[in-house]
Amino acid sequence: MSPANDKPLVGIIMGSNSDWPTMQAAAKILKEFGVPYEARVVSAHRTPDLMFAYADTARSRGLKAIIAGAGGAAHLPGMVAAKTTLPVLGVPVQSKALSGQDSLLSIVQMPKGIPVATFAIGEAGAANAGLFAVALLANEDVALAKKLEEFRTRQTQTVLDMTLDEQ
């Protein structure tokens, strides 16, 4: 899945299609900025061979970053990071049992040597992972950096324009 037919620069992967309502927030940001992406279900424990192949070939296929979302014992981002030197952005999906605390700790507590940039639990984290991927790409892309500046300016203006109802 990609907004254009361009080669994807960012891979969005997730452990299950039940993660997609959350991970769509990352896709929405990339689409808004015109960054070509792909989105796929890749499970660390249910499709381990696919996960290895995905991570192994990610750089040679032209990806610049991988956004990986998972819930529960969320080992997908860490395992993918173990198999590629691309930046891996981890999104803890809100789990039913522990509201995503388990996902967060599984992703954030990587032992030294294999980093995963970890974002907030749920949709906010997915959107911020999308924005972070844009910021990474913007280092080498002046037009994208300008779009990011404009996004921030609009966001600031939205808050400056906020009014409160009379009490």
Binding residues for substrate are 16, 19, 46
43 binds ligand RP5 (CB under 6 A): yes
Q: Please return the burial class of 155, using the count of CB atoms within 10 Å of its CB with bins 0-12, 13-18 and 19+.
A: exposed
- Rounded CA-CA distance 6/34 in Å is 10
Strand 117-118 and strand 88-93: the pairing is parallel
**Which of 4, 18, 124, 139: binder of ligand RP5 (CB under 6 A)?**
18
Nearer to ligand RP5, 18 or 101 (CB): 18
Hey, what are 5's tokens?
Answer: 């037919």
Query: Shortest approach of ligand RP5 to residue 69 CB, angstroms?
Result: 7
93 binds ligand RP5 (CB under 6 A): yes
Query: Shortest approach of ligand RP5 to residue 98 CB, angstroms?
Result: 12
Query: Shortest approach of ligand RP5 to residue 74 CB, angstroms?
Result: 6
- List binding-site positions: 16, 19, 46
Locus of tokens 């279900």? 41
Of 134, 163, 130, nearest to 147 (Cα)?
A: 134
CB atoms within 10 A of CB 5: 6
Nearer to ligand RP5, 99 or 155 (CB): 99
Query: Shortest approach of ligand RP5 to residue 20 CB, angstroms?
Result: 10
19 binds ligand RP5 (CB under 6 A): yes
The kind and range of the H/E element at 126 are helix 123-138
Task: Give the residues lining the site for ligand RP5 (CB under 6 A).
Answer: 14-16, 18-19, 43, 70-72, 93
